[in-house]
Amino acid sequence: MSTSTEPTPGRTWVAGFRTGVISPYEQIKLNEPRGFADQTVRQVLRMAGGGEALRVRLSNRYGRDPLTIGAARIAVRKAGDEIVPETDLALRFSGAAQVTVPAGGEAVSDPVDLPVTAGTALALSLYLPHETGLATYSHMPMQTAYAADGDLTASPGLPGADHVQARFYVTGVDVLAPEGTAIAVAFGDSWFEGVGSTPDTDHRSVDFLNARLDRGWVVNEGIAGNRLLVDEIGENALARLDRDALSVPGATHVLVHFGINDLGLPGMAGQPPATSDDLIDGFTRLADRVHTAGLKILAATIGPFAGAVYPGVSTPEGLAARRRVNDWIRTTDLFDSVFDVARAVENPDDPDFIRPDLDGGDGMHLNDTGARLLAESVDLRTLTL
């Protein structure tokens, strides 16, 4: 007999939440990695879309040793580190309460009956009984996680917990939803992940975009510092495309924002920026692979970053390449649609700079209002099947 957690005609598993993860062993670090031992980590996951059941995806992708999950629970978050106790459910893995994830491996929980809707804030609690080593993590999600000693996975709250600005070991939540639910993947850098927006307010550009949609939703695979062509921070876009976009269950569209870090990040290491030809070639290969997979691609123009406060990021060569690539993005027929982020947030008096009232404070990222304008630059008609 089928249960409510099994797909039946008319419903299927799709991505309800995603978060891009990186290795803690990279040379360039925007947020310090960490590990755990005999600790509970409680993490808030805001659902992009909902369904009548869910399953959780965990990853030890970049771990160097097996990862033991001693207990895992999922609940609706009440506030801060507190859960709604009557929604609290144990997660199992092939029927077991514990799971060991091999180095480089992943684990998917058994489905649980916990109906969720778009905007539901879930609290995922993981008990990590042994020394983990440095954790596979999402390094700048603009969401607080909570770490406390011992197995407190079933505790209504975590008084005295450490507050950590990162996510650990989780890559997504799938939901059981009606067939034909359109899932778009925001595949890019910090302008999707949310750097510059107010932490713990869900004011990322992808959150604002989801608020505009009345059908389907967008899951967020942005990684702050990520590049189109070169590894660090995170695997480059062409390397992670299959895993983080094309294989996302239910995906129909891919939105891309890349280029700022290809042009600016090398300056922090004394390297020359990518050329405009390099980026155009990379975007071309990216679009070809998305189309080959049968999905549509929506490309953003590269946002302004001349005001970046970080030494070496803003260079005349990098800014000139940005202008050339943006001219190409606006005129090529390679993409199914273009959303002109650069024009939406640039300073009209000096378009290489972010408009002052939209600047997140470092000349390189958008504040909450800027994130909303990024979302509004997407024509919703281009997200229909």
Helix axes 368-376, 205-212, angle to 10 degrees: 50
Give the separation between CA 334 and CA 254, rounded to whole angstroms.
Answer: 14
Helix, strand or coil, per DSSP, at residue 257: strand
Give the pLDDT score at 1.
30
Beta bridge partners of 100: 68
Give the pLDDT score at 270.
73
Cα torsion 63, 65, 66, 68 to 10°: value is -80
* CB neighbourhood size of 85 (10 A): 13
CA 87 to each of CA 31, 114, 121: distance values in angstroms, whole numbers, following the listed order: 32, 8, 12
Q: Do strands 337-339 and 296-300 pair parallel, antiparallel, or not at all (unpaired)?
A: parallel
Please name the residues in contact with 181: beta carbons below 8 A apart, sequence gap of 6 or more: 12, 14, 49, 216, 250
Give the pLDDT score at 4.
64
Give the pLDDT score at 50.
97
Specify the pTM: 0.96
pLDDT tens readout for residues 5-48? 777 789 999 999 999 999 999 998 899 999 999 999 999 999 99
Cα torsion 136, 141, 146, 149 to 10°: value is 10
The phi, psi pair for 239, rounded to 5°, reads: -75, -35
Give the pLDDT score at 3.
47
Give the pLDDT score at 209.
98
The residue ranges of the chain whose pLDDT is under 50 are: 1-3
